[in-house]
Amino acid sequence: MQLRMTNQREMILRELKKSKKHLSADELYERVKKIMPRISLATVYRNLEILSDASMIRKLEISGRQKRFDSELEDHDHIYCIQCHRIENLDIGDKEVNLTEVDTRGYAITGRRLEVIGLCPRCQKKNSKNNAKKAKQGGSTMGCGCKKGVLSDEQKQVLEAMEKCDGPCASKDIAAATGLETKQVSCRITALKKKGYVDSPVRCKYAITTEGKIALNV
């Protein structure tokens, strides 16, 4: 099986080299598409796989579900930010990782992958800035993957009723105002809280947050 250097393949390789970051297949696709608008995403995937089989690039399978690719072949490790998911290179001399005295259970070792995990300087700064704000709001759940922009009709109804209310109100009141059942209201409130659009300043009383108001008016 021989490799042919097609235009597409060449372009994929070039763009990956040009960007010093660790691109995912679809990021690379977006870039290549600007130059070759008719290229297919499948081609990008195929070539990344082929190029990494041929040891012309490296495949990274760390952190999260997307594969990322690296044009640098020399041995190096990676450092990963738990908050912004940035991956950067790390130069570690061989001295720092010493496997010679480890019981490797009879495995024939072909390589190793070291991933250091932490918080990058940018995120550290960002966090210390927003700390006061976040401590008050339910900031801890906000980092999750929920799509914040999308509201169902019922959620919108609940949120609107809550906006009209002065101050915190009970779910009963919302139920009366919207005509929905109490249980349904309760469900919606839970979902809205998760999105950060509603909070509960007093037990069993709820209020719309600033973010909630913004979301409603989009």
* Cα–Cα dist 64/202, whole Å: 37
* Cα–Cα dist 151/113, whole Å: 42
Decide which of DNA, its own copies, none touches 41; Cβ closer than 5 to 8 Å per partner kind. DNA
Residues 6+ apart with CB under 8 A from 45: 25
Residue 57 DSSP one-character state: S
Decide which of DNA, its own copies, none touches 183; Cβ closer than 5 to 8 Å per partner kind. DNA
Using CB under 8 A as the criterion, what x/- string covers residues 86-105 for binding its own copies?
Answer: --x-xxx--xxxxx-xxxxx
SS3 168: coil
* Cα–Cα dist 198/212, whole Å: 6
Q: How far is the CB of 81 from its own copies (least distance, A)?
A: 7
Instruction: Report the sign of the C-alpha dihedral through residues 160, 164, 170, 174, in that order.
Output: negative
Q: Which residue do the tokens 């042919």 mark?
A: 4
72 forms part of the interface with its own copies (CB under 8 A): no
Nearest-10 crossing angle of helices 182-195, 171-178: 110
191 forms part of the interface with its own copies (CB under 8 A): no
In the list 116, 146, 204, 214, the residue contacting its own copies (rule: CB under 8 A) is 116
49 forms part of the interface with DNA (CB under 7 A): yes
Binding site for DNA (CB under 7 A): 1-9, 24-26, 36, 38-43, 45-47, 49-50, 65-67, 144-147, 150, 152, 154-155, 170-172, 182-184, 186-191, 193-194, 200, 203-204
Which residues are at the interface with its own copies (CB under 8 A)?
Answer: 1, 61-65, 79, 81-82, 88, 90-92, 95-99, 101-121, 124, 141
